[in-house]
């Protein structure tokens, strides 16, 4: 029985490694391209995507400052859920390819997080181009760097996991002009907020005399930045607001990349200690149930050679069929006051004493 259970578990484990693409995705994360075994199927079962991939970036990129790029995905057939996993990488070797290795920082990904791998649901097709915007902080050292965009997706019939990667895009990172109006390299944007709450954001501005904020797709006038602070109105529904800051100073007027802040419902607060405690209690409960359900095999084996009960019952039957031994010492006749008759022994008295007493009682001679 145990062998059968182990065999079934082995089949279940093996079935996870021979499946094809995960139709529901694996979730946004910081991920290398060499993840075929965990993201989709074994790399030997992958196909080559025919998607046309490209990266668009600004003409001027300054060391340590924020920049905005666009990834383009065209001419691609995907599965029915219209999902494509998109990765931003620094080489096409499948290892040591995370942007952080070359000094890039993903400040805002297309889904509002800070991941180099995101899963995008959009109108992917052979006739359509899907564009996604990323906000990056450039490496702190000037130089020439490479960026790649890679994709992972299913096929219309859902049978094969497809992968592809773009050609290298060389980005020249230059020195920062001394009087350039800009955001401080230490400043980090806010990416999420709760529904129904106004969001006050504090900026760290350098070489900037005047600044104001624009909201994408809004008819609202630009929001002035006062004491390096501005407020985004509260959201009434889940969604994303995109904004950028215009900075004016002695140097050329600068526009920041578009930042995205996502409004979401309050999440559940989980006490980790209580969660671990419940998990431990559940483990103990399962162990107890297993112990209670186990057959008492040891007892069965020991009783197989234990004949005590049979011997006892047989001995009882022997005792019932044997004559009852009478304790003679209990029925010995009383010894006369004058002692035993002359010439009698105690053994003779035990056997014949009562007969002698009966004879005397009938008037016989002593």
**Stretch among 115-129, 143-157, 253-267 having the lowest mean pLDDT:** 253-267
Band of residue 101 on the pLDDT scale cut at 50, 70, 90: very high
Q: Is the pLDDT of residue 296 over 80?
A: no
Q: Is the pLDDT of residue 153 over 50?
A: yes
Residue 30 phi/psi, 5-degree rounding, is -90, 115
Question: Chain-wide mean pLDDT for the chain?
Answer: 81
Torsion of CA 319, 323, 325, 328, to 10 degrees: 170
Average pLDDT over residues 344-358: 82
Q: Is the pLDDT of residue 325 over 50?
A: no
Cα separation of 31 and 114, whole Å? Answer: 12
Q: What was the pLDDT predicted at 12?
A: 53
Q: What was the pLDDT predicted at 359?
A: 82
**Whether CATH 2.40.30.10 fits 177-267:** no
Of the candidate CATH numbers 1.10.10.60, 3.30.230.10, 3.40.50.620, 2.60.40.10, the domain formed by 22-175 belongs to 2.60.40.10
Q: What was the pLDDT predicted at 7?
A: 54
Q: Is the pLDDT of residue 16 over 50?
A: no
Q: Which residues contact 246 (CB under 8 A, 6 or more apart)?
A: 211, 212, 213, 214, 222, 253, 254, 255, 256
The sign of the torsion formed by the CA atoms of 218, 224, 230, 234 equals negative
Answer yes or no: are the C-beta atoms of 253 and 247 closer than 8 Å: yes
3-state secondary structure of 109: coil
Q: Is the pLDDT of residue 316 over 90?
A: no
Q: What was the pLDDT predicted at 128?
A: 92
Q: What was the pLDDT predicted at 286?
A: 81
CA distances from 27 to 59, 84, 161 (A): 32, 11, 16
Band of residue 305 on the pLDDT scale cut at 50, 70, 90: low
Residue 100 phi/psi, 5-degree rounding, is -65, -25
Q: Which residue has the tokens 């906000």?
A: 135
Q: Where are the domains positioned within the chain?
A: 22-175, 177-267, 330-366
Q: Is the pLDDT of residue 18 over 70?
A: no
Q: What was the pLDDT predicted at 268?
A: 55
Alpha helices in 2-55 (DSSP H): 2-15, 36-39
Entry pTM: 0.60
Q: Is the pLDDT of residue 6 over 50?
A: no
Q: What was the pLDDT predicted at 354?
A: 81
Q: What would the 3-class secondary structure string for 155-191 be? A: CCCCCCCEEEECCCEEEEEECCCCCCCEECCCCCCCC
Average pLDDT over residues 122-150: 94
Q: What is the pLDDT of residues 206-248, one digit of tens each?
A: 999 999 999 998 888 999 999 999 999 998 888 889 999 999 9
Helix/strand number for the chain, H first, E second: 6, 21
Cα separation of 294 and 287, whole Å? Answer: 11
**Stretch among 19-23, 115-119, 226-230 having the lowest mean pLDDT:** 19-23
Average pLDDT over residues 49-73: 94
Q: Is the pLDDT of residue 73 over 90?
A: yes
- Tell me whether domains 22-175 and 177-267 share a fold: yes
Angle at 141 between CA 135 and CA 142, to 5 degrees: 90
DSSP character string of 292-316: HHS--HHHHHHHHT--HHHHHHHHH
Answer yes or no: are the C-beta atoms of 223 and 213 closer than 8 Å: yes
């Amino acid at each position: 029985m145990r062998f059968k259970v182990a065999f079934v578990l082995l089949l279940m484990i093996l079935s996870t490694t021979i499946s094809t693409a995960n139709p529901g995705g694996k979730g946004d994360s910081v991920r290398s391209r060499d993840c075929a075994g965990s993201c989709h199927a074994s790399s030997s079962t992958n196909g080559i995507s025919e998607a046309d991939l490209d990266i668009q970036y600004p003409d001027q990129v300054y060391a340590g400052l924020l920049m905005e790029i666009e990834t383009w995905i065209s001419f691609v057939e995907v599965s029915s859920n219209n999902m494509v996993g998109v990765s931003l990488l620094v080489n096409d070797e499948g290892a040591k390819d995370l942007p952080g290795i070359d000094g890039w920082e993903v400040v805002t990904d297309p889904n509002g997080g800070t991941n180099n791998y995101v899963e995008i649901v959009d109108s992917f097709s052979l006739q359509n181009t899907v564009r996604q915007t990323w906000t990056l902080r450039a490496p702190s050292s000037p130089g020439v760097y490479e960026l790649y965009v890679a994709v992972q997706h299913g096929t219309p019939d859902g049978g094969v996991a497809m992968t592809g990667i773009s050609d290298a895009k060389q980005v020249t990172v230059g020195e920062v002009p001394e009087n350039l109006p800009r955001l401080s390299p230490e400043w980090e944007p806010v990416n999420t907020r709760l529904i129904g709450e106004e969001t006050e954001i504090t900026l760290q501005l350098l070489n900037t005399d005047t600044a104001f904020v624009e909201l994408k797709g809004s008819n609202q006038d630009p929001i002035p930045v006062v004491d390096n602070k501005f407020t985004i109105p509260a959201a009434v529904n889940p969604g994303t607001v995109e904004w950028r800051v215009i900075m004016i100073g002695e140097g050329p007027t600068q526009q920041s990349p578009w930042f995205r802040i996502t409004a979401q419902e309050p999440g559940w607060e989980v006490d980790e200690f209580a969660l671990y405690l419940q998990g431990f209690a559940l483990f103990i409960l399962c162990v107890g149930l297993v112990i209670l359900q186990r057959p008492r095999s040891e007892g069965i084996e020991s009783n197989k050679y234990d004949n005590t009960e049979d011997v006892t019952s047989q001995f009882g039957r022997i005792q019932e069929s044997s004559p009852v031994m009478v304790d003679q010492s209990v029925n010995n006749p009383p010894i006369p006051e004058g002692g035993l008759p002359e010439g009698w022994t105690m053994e003779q008295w035990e056997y014949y004493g009562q007969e002698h007493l009966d004879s005397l009682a009938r008037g016989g001679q002593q």
